[in-house]
Structure 1
Amino acid sequence: MQPITDTNELISLCKRWEQAEFITVDTEFLRDNTYYPKLCLVQVADDDGAHAIDPLAEGLDLQPLLDLFANEKVLKVLHACRQDMEIFYLLMNDLPKPVFDTQVAAMVCGFGDSVGYETLVTKIAKAQLDKSARYTDWSKRPLSDTQLNYALGDVTYLRTIYRRLSAELQATGREAWVDEEMAVLRDTNLYWIAPEDAWQRLKVRTNKPRFLGLLQELAAWRERQAQERDLPRNRVAKDETLFEIAAHPPRDETALDRIRGIPKGFSRSRAGKSMLEALEAGMNIPDKDLPHIERAKPRPATPPMADLLKVLLKIKSQQAKVAARMVASSQEIEAWAAEPETTDIKAMHGWRYKIFGADAVKLMEGDLGLTARNGDIDVVELLADDEDLDEGSHDGQED
Structure 2
Amino acid sequence: MLERHIQTEQQLIELCTQLAHSPWLALDTEFVREKTYYPQFCLLQISNGEIAATVDPIQIQELQPLLDLLYDDAIIKVFHAGYQDLEIFYNLWGRLPTPLFDTQLAASLLGLGDQVGYGNLVEQLLNHTLEKGHSRTDWSRRPLDEAQLRYALDDVIYLGDIYIKLTGMLRDAGREGWLQDDFDQLANPDTYRNPPQEAWKRIKGRQQLKGVQLAVLQGVAAWREQEAQQANRPKRWILKDEVLTDLARRQPKSLEQLSRIRGLEPGVIKRRGELLLKLIADARALPREQWPRDKRRIIRLTPNQEALTDLLYSCLRLLAEQNNITPAALANRKEIESLVSGERELDILRGWRRTIAGNRLLEVLAGNCWPELENGQLVLSTTTTPD
- TM-score by shorter chain over 0.5: yes
Deviation at 1:343, TM superposition (A): 7.3
Q: Deviations over 1:149-177 (max 9, x none)?
A: 11110100011100001112222331221
Aligned residues: 377
Residue 144 (structure 1) aligned with residue 145 (structure 2): yes
**Is the alpha carbon distance of 1:330 and 1:2 closer, same or farther for their aligned partners in structure 2, counting shifts above 3 Å?**
same
Among the aligned pairs, what percent are the same residue?
35
Confirm or deny that 1:298 pairs with 2:300: yes
Return the letter of the residue paired with 1:199. W
Bigger drift between 256-265 and 63-72 goes to 256-265
- TM-score, normalising length from structure 2? 0.84
Partner residue, 1:397: none
Q: Which residue number corresponds to residue 179 of structure 2?
A: 178
From the superposition, tell whether residues 314 and 297 of structure 1 become closer, same or farther in structure 2 (CA, over 3 Å).
closer
Consecutive unaligned residues of structure 2, counting only runs of 5 or more, are none
Where does residue 21 of structure 2 map in the other structure? 19
Q: Give the aligned partner of residue 393 of structure 1.
A: none
1:248 deviates by 3.8
Distance 1:264 1:118, change over 3 A: same
Q: Which residue is 1:392 aligned to?
A: none
Cα distance in 1 for residues equivalent to 2:246 and 2:340: 39
Task: Label 1:3 to 1:268 Cα distance change in 2 as closer, same or farther (>3 A).
Answer: farther
Deviations, residues 79-100 of structure 1 (Å, cap 9, x unaligned): 0111111111101111111110
Alpha-carbon offset, residue 366 of structure 1: 6.3
Distance 1:157 1:265 in 2: 50
- Name the aligned partner's letter for residue 230 of structure 2: E
**Stretch of structure 1 that moved more, 141-150 or 167-176:** 167-176
Amino acid at match of 2:293: I
- Which amino acid counterpart does residue 240 of structure 1 have in structure 2? E
Please give the secondary structure, in 2, of the residue aligned with 1:322: coil
Q: Which residue of 1 aligns with 2:9?
A: 7
| Structure 1: gaps (5+ residues) | 389-399
Correspondence for 2:67 = 66
Deviation of residue 143 (structure 1)?
Answer: 1.0
Q: CA RMSD in A?
A: 3.3
Q: Is 1:115 the equivalent of 2:116?
A: yes
Q: Is the 8 A contact 2:107 2:116 kept in 1?
A: yes
Counterpart amino acid of residue 219 in structure 1: A
1:394 is aligned to: none
Greater mean deviation of Cα atoms: 117-126 or 377-386: 377-386
- Counterpart in the other structure of 2:317: 314
Matches within 5 A, 1:241-390: 241-246=243-248, 247-251=250-254, 260-266=262-268, 269=271, 275=276, 278-279=279-280, 281-282=282-283, 285-287=285-287, 290-293=290-293, 298-301=300-303, 302-336=305-339, 352=353, 355-356=356-357, 360=361, 361=363, 365=368, 368-370=371-373, 373=376, 377-379=377-379, 384=384
Q: Give the deviation of 1:274 after TM superposition.
A: 5.3
Question: What TM-score, normalized to structure 1?
Answer: 0.82
**Matching residue within 46, 60, 71 for 1:44:** 46
Give deviations 1:44-101, integer Å, cap 9, x for gaps: 01122211111221x4222322232221111100001111111111011111111100
Report SS of the residue matched to 2:150.
helix
Deviations 1:4-41 (A, max 9, x none): 12122112212222200001000111122211111111
Letter in 2 for 1:293: R
Letter aligned with residue 199 of structure 2: A
Secondary structure of 2:38's counterpart equals: coil
Q: Report the 3-state secondary structure (helix = DSSP H, G, I; strand = E; otherwise coil) of the residue aligned with 2:91.
A: helix
Alpha carbons 2:32, 2:41 under 8 Å: kept: yes
Moved more, 9-18 or 152-161: 9-18
Rg larger in structure: 1
- Superposition pairs of residues 207-218 of structure 1, within 5 angstroms: 207-209=210-212, 211-218=213-220
Contact 2:369 2:381 in 1 (8 A): no
Residue 33 of structure 1, aligned match among 32, 35, 51? 35
1:88 is paired with a residue of what secondary structure? helix
